[in-house]
Each structure stands twice: as C-alpha cells, then as structure tokens.
Chain A
C-alpha cells in the first residue's frame, strides 16, 4: 500500500517528518517497509498492511491512525462522513435497480451531464503516479483518486452507452459474456454479480468495468457508481476469473458501509471542478439504494481486563476511552457508572468484534514498548520427550496407512 506523504499531510495536518511518521505508524501496527523520496521532493511510504485492516487501504484510513498517534482530531473528512438521510430503504428507482441485495446491500449513483474528457491536471496525475497508478483521463483518474483517498472504489460509466440509461445490479445469466476494459472477452458464471444495463452486462461488480461503457474521449454524460458489494462474492468471482484489481482487493476485505455517499459526492464535486459538467435538476440527484443497513456492531470492554491481558499498568480509564474514541469507537453506555464499557464499532473496522480486539487497539496505541517484561512462575519441570497420556490419533495417520 503506497501512501503519498504530502497527501497524508494535507488530510491530517501531521507535524511528523516522513521517516518519523513511518516509524510511529510501524509501532502501532502499520508496518512501513520503506520510505521513498521522489524527484520532486515528495515522499512515499510503502506500507505492508496486515489483512485485517482494509480500512487502511486509503490515505484517510492511514491518516486516522496518524491522528490518534499525534492526539489530533481525526481528519475532518466530513469528506466521506456526510449524512445519509437521502438514502432510500428500497432496492430500486428509476435509475438503478438492485435485484440481489444480499450480494449488493448498497448502491449509490449520480449522473453528471456535459463533462469534457481531457487529460488530468498535473497535480492529480503526479499524485497518482507517485503511488504507482497510471493516469488515463480526468474522470477515470478522479474515481481512482477518490478510491485512494477514502477507500471507496468508484466506477464511471458513459451514460449514453447504457441501454435505457439505467443500471441493474444482478447475477449473471448462463452464457453471458463481457469484454472488460483490459480488452479481454470473459465468460460469466451464474453466481457472479454483475452490473448490467437493460440488455447486457456492463461491468463485473466490484472487479472491473466493461470496455463498451468505459469513459472515452467523446463521453459527455457520466454515471458514477459507488456501492458496497459482498466480500465473499467479489473474492470468489475474482478468483474464478483470475482477475485481481485495486477495487476487488478492497471489496474482498470489506469496505466501509457508511462512506458510500460521501465518497460519491467527493468524486462528483472533483469532476465538476476539473472536467466541468452539470449536476442540476432531477438527473443530477443522488440515488442511494440501501434496503437494509446492517445492525450496529458493538463490543463490551471490562476496563480491568486491559491490564489483566496486557500487563500494562497505569492506563487510566480516561486514556482507554480517549484512544478508542479517537479511533472511531463511540462509548454508548457513558451514563452508566460501571467498569464495563460498551463501544460501538465504527463501520470501517471489519476486524473488531470482541473485548480482545478492543484491548489490542488500546495496547497498540499506548505502545507495546510500554509493556514490562515478566515471567510466569514455574509449574513443572520441562520434558524433552512428551509424555503421552493418550495415543494421538489423526486423520492423516490413517490415510498414510491406507496408502501404504
């Protein structure tokens, strides 16, 4: 995962130099393998992310961690945190219809008319290049940019190429094929989720868009898609087709349910700023189909358990709360005077479910270096040869005998 330092600094206001930031991020669990300096003086941090932190597959995610480290308020990304009272608890509208809401629990879209496709401005192209991305055209680049900024993969369709100018989110039918934007003709299988127009598939949901509806030099009207696709479905489709993309990678691990609209709006606003276009009127309105928002996840945390599990002494209750709330975990039982806190888990943390996960959050931000080494008391003498109390049976053992 490549993070552009200047970009990160813009989002967070960090006062740490690149190498310091790299060191501090590593010590909270975001291992920075290398810091590269670019020709223009900028820096890129190469982060080796563990698979449980898809929320850090964006500058916003990494920025959030950095803010907690520096005790700053989290990135003002109301950029991405916009209210979703515009969302419809429905599965279809004039523009978009979701036919399988288990595989696609949320789909948001906006239309921009009259854009001018051109190469991206220098600042945008440079930023993409610095993190290893290839600029294509302004609209496509902006969708890529916002994905790397906020973690929401976005896709732009040429609206006029969509039959009936509408989107249907459904499973592929046997025999359907699509020519993806890399020019490869692919056969689709019935359990794969696709984006289709009124007649045919136009994209493999969460993986790659189709060639026919891609943005080209003559495109004037675009439809921007911002959605949540089921991680297991995307993973399976991606494996079957042997197609892995930045988008599929993020969807597979679980993106943030609640950033869908904010990211879409951010993308649209950048497009109108850079490529022009009109979002007024009925056609420019947001469509957000979100039939069944998932239940809020929460977890309890027995305060005493922090010390019991980690050996960290002198971590006050206030400090525990500060760290967790800075990370986005809101205390939902503050009125209770109890030694068991209950925290809501933010929508972007797919890896936190239980007390131990919360304790790890506290421990890694207090710092593992603060843990004092102790040794558990002796119990019995060691053994060089295990003393078996019962014969060990394993399935493997019986297979081996059969083979012989």
Chain B
C-alpha cells in the first residue's frame, strides 16, 4: 500500500490521494530531519517554505483532497464505512505530521538565518562626528601672535587691496622706483594694487594710533612670482612696527632675537646683515641659526647653518613724516617676516604650494 505513509486502506480513492501526496511531498521529505536544511541559502529555504505552505493548503484545507475524501464517506457501503473513516483519519494525521515536521525544521532554519543577518553588534562604538582643525599657517600665526602680544604688541590688520599712497608713496618708494613695476606688483584696472608687503599696515596703524605704539600685522601679500617649490604669487607675512622715543638698532636686534628664541629655543642665534629697503634706514636682513642642526649645516638650512627670516630696519624718517609723526621726537623699527617658508621648513615640506592648495588629505595631517 502506501509505503511512506504506512496507511493501509482497502479503498482505491484513499490510496490514490495517499499516493498523490507522497509524490508531491517527495521533495520536502528530507526536511523532516532537523539537520537537513543546513547549507541552504535563505532564499531557497524561504521558497521551500512557501511551497510547503501551498501543499498544506492543498492537502489539508477545505477544498483539499482529504476534505473531498471525508465527504465521500456517504458513497461507501455501510459495512465498510468504519474502516474507511479510520483510514482517512489516519491519512490525515500522517499527512499533517509530515508537513508539520518539515515546516518546523524549515521555519526554524529560516528564522535562524534571518536573525543572524539582522543581528546588530550593540557593543560597537558609535560613529564619530568629524571635526575640523586649523591650517598649519594659522597655527604658526597664532604662535607668533602669542609671542608678540606677550611683549606688548597689538595685532593689527589692513586691506589687501591698496592705493598708491599706502603701497608706495607713504613707504618712501618714489614714482619711478623699480618696486612699482608691473613686473612685481599686481595692478587692478582702477589703479589700485594688491599689496606686495604687509608694510602697508604700518601706515594704517600709525594713522589709527598715536605714538608710542607696537603692532604686528599678519596677512596675505601678493607678488608676481612664478609659482615653484619656494615661491607663490600669494603668501603670508607678519609685519611688526614699534614707534617710541630713542629706539635703536639694538632694540630691533633684541626684539627679533627674543622672538626667534621663543619660537625655536634659547640656543637660537640671530645674524643681521646690512641691506636695503626704501622704507627703512639703516636696513637689515635677518637670519636665524637653523633649528634643525643648530648651525652645523643640514638639508633644511642648505648647509649654511642659517635660515632667512626676513627684512627689517629703522623706520625711514620720510615714512614717519607721511603720517605726520615728527622723526626728531619719535622713531622706531619695523620688520617683515615670511612665514610660509618658516612653516614649510618646520614641517619639512618640500613645496610651499602645499600650504595653499587646500588638499584635505594634506591638511588633515595637522589635526
């Protein structure tokens, strides 16, 4: 009779239904074993479960074969009805059992897989908010400001676009002086120009503050330079100006030496060499002993032991007169330090253009 269901029935219809079920259940049969679903993909198992559900509806539901069998009991001869009824019940019980077993194993498996997939490791740390940080030039500028503010200097500022008066006339640069040439300065259509040194702020400061005064002015300057590893058309300077009575070159030397020692350590030395700027007289170029090798000579200082800091000098009397300060009563010194190169050397950058290109990958290293 029915080998799988092990239902013995002396009725052809019952046997037919039993056989039909066996046939349809064949592919689900193995899932009566709980280990059977292992290895199935989730999709496969879910599909099987669906099909099994359909099979159950077909076999056991209202319109199923079994239901039909039960109704047909009326056509069975009376003396066979008891056997018939028993056989149908047994069939029903067995079919339900088999389907349930397979369904349960498949369901458990599906559930297990789904849980695994949706599992959250609640011990993981949360996502951090990324925070910004300061540009290396800003960091350097702040450090420089700190040093000078502690020496009584005020931080001043001025426009980046200037008239001839601030750029040249007040700084004692006469009309046909090469410094005015379009080769070096960016002129705008209306005759204004981008400032080529922060010395312009000296004039603004002296106009705003009566002497005695001490100011520094960090800021952008612009020169017609072809960009390369050590030059850029836009770069940063820090200007310094001190006006008081009876100021000497010795005061200038002392101030700059103090600054350099606070930046790079007490063992740092300075060297002043005579030079020329239209707005200072006497003028000097300032070097400081290499912070890396101490003056012995290395790659940073190009084996000379010294690094250029910038220009300086005693404020030219014509400059004082241009802002109505009497050079017989007041005098002072001024200096201009280039900070991009200092920054590049301190961080051992090969190319100062890195400081201006705003590549986040580069800047992120300074947090």
Contacts and interface: CB of A to CB of B under 8 A. Distances in A.
Contact of B152 (A235, A382, A394): A382
Contact of A50 (B248, B276, B314): B276
A26 interface: yes
Interface string B185-228: 00000101000000000001000110010110000000000000
Contacts of A236: 176
Contact of B255 (A29, A356, A375, A394): A375
A310 B212 CA distance: 19
A326 to B, nearest CB: 16
A314 interface: no
Nearest to B244: A376
Contact of B204 (A232, A235, A392): A392
Contacts of A380: 152
Contacts of A310: 248-250, 282
A102 B296 CA distance: 55
Contacts of B159: 394, 396-397
B145 interface: yes
B179 to A, nearest CB: 8
Interface in A365-404: 368-369, 371-376, 378-390, 392, 394-397, 399-400
Contact of B272 (A308, A351, A369): A369
B331 A51 contact: no
B276 A363 contact: no
A356 B250 contact: no
A379 B276 contact: no
Contacts of B285: 31
Contacts, number: 152
Contacts of B254: 373-376
Nearest to B162: A396
A51 to B, nearest CB: 6
A399 to B, nearest CB: 6
B15 interface: no
A359 interface: yes
B53 to A, nearest CB: 72
A371 B255 contact: no
Contacts of A50: 275-276
Contacts of B162: 394, 396
Nearest to A311: B250
B273 A368 contact: yes
B154 interface: yes
Contacts of B212: 379
A385 B208 contact: no
A202 B77 CA distance: 145
B152 A363 contact: no
B316 A360 contact: no
Nearest to B179: A51
B163 interface: yes
Contact of B276 (A29, A239, A384): A29
A383 B148 CA distance: 9
11 contacts: A311-B250, A356-B316, A360-B282, A371-B272, A372-B250, A373-B253, A373-B254, A374-B250, A385-B155, A386-B208, A394-B163
Given A29-B273, A360-B281, A400-B161, 15 more contacts: A29-B275, A236-B176, A309-B282, A311-B253, A356-B316, A368-B274, A368-B284, A372-B250, A373-B253, A375-B254, A376-B254, A378-B152, A382-B154, A394-B166, A396-B163
Interface of A: 26-29, 31, 50-53, 232, 235-236, 239, 307-312, 351, 354, 356-357, 359-360, 363-364, 368-369, 371-376, 378-390, 392, 394-397, 399-400
What are the 9 A-B residue pairs with the smallest beta carbon separation, nearest first? A311-B250, A29-B274, A382-B149, A311-B248, A373-B254, A360-B282, A50-B276, A364-B274, A396-B161
